[in-house]
Amino acid sequence: MRPEALAALHSAAFAPARGWSAAEFDSFLADPACLLVARPEGFALARVTLDEAELLTIATDPARRRQGVARGLLGALFGGLAGRGAETLFLEVAEDNAAARALYAGAGFAMAGRRRGYYPRRDGAAVDALILRRALG
């Protein structure tokens, strides 16, 4: 997928929040530490540092949600990251994002930490970020 397509899909998936721009995706794609798993209906982007990886973002076309797209992307990502020497995958998820938390729990992620008040909301409140981890071995 080209950066423009990634940006359009990311914006659709995360609306009304601001999606990442084509320039931001172009920067990630130029980084050899980053791994993109992409399909027309979604993508997952991660970065490897030594034996750890971080899921930077995962996005699914809103019309294709709850059809196993994200689960399939994660499965492909796990294999690609392990092939690059990553032993553990970390991510952050908003505590109030029940759908994403269910996806990650089903994929074997466990709580590793919390960042209090990390995600600002339009009403001025802030939601904690949960730091999750999963072994890739």
Catalytic residue list: 92, 104
What share of residues in the chain are helix, strand, coil (percent, to 5)? 35, 35, 30
Pairing of strands 52-60, 110-120: unpaired
Q: Strand locations in 24-125, DSSP E?
A: 34-39, 42-49, 52-60, 88-94, 110-120
Long-range contacts of 95-98 (CB under 8 A, 24+ apart): 95/127, 95/128, 95/129, 95/130, 96/127
Place of tokens 């320039």: 23
Residue 8's φ and ψ, nearest 5 degrees, are -65, -45
